[in-house]
Amino acid sequence: MAESLENRAGRVVAEVFAVPLEEVQAGTTRVDIQNWDSVNILNLILALESEFQVTLEVDELAELTSVEAILNILRRRCVS
């Protein structure tokens, strides 16, 4: 069975920010993760683009403030 979008996105966030996967939920925001900073946001962008085979648009980059926002972007792109 294929891994769900939520699990894949959560895994990417956990790996990029070096936090346990159990700490990453849809409601997790940049305030909740100490390493969610300007350097690691670049790593997040690259990891999301690689994992989901998308190129994020400039206006979408400002939306990367929570796991739920990431999921919304991916859903708008019809990523599953």
Q: Which residues pair with 66 in a beta bridge?
A: 29
CA 77 distance to own-chain centroid? 14
1 pLDDT higher than 70? no
For residue 45, the model assigns a pLDDT of 97
Burial bucket for residue 32 (CB in 10 Å: 0-12, 13-18, 19+): middle
Q: What is the pTM of this model?
A: 0.92
5-76: in CATH 1.20.1250.20: no
The residue ranges of every structural domain in the chain are 5-76
Q: Which of 35, 46, 39 is nearest to 12 (CA)?
A: 46
pLDDT in tens, 29-80: 999 999 999 999 999 999 999 999 999 999 999 999 999 999 999 999 988 7
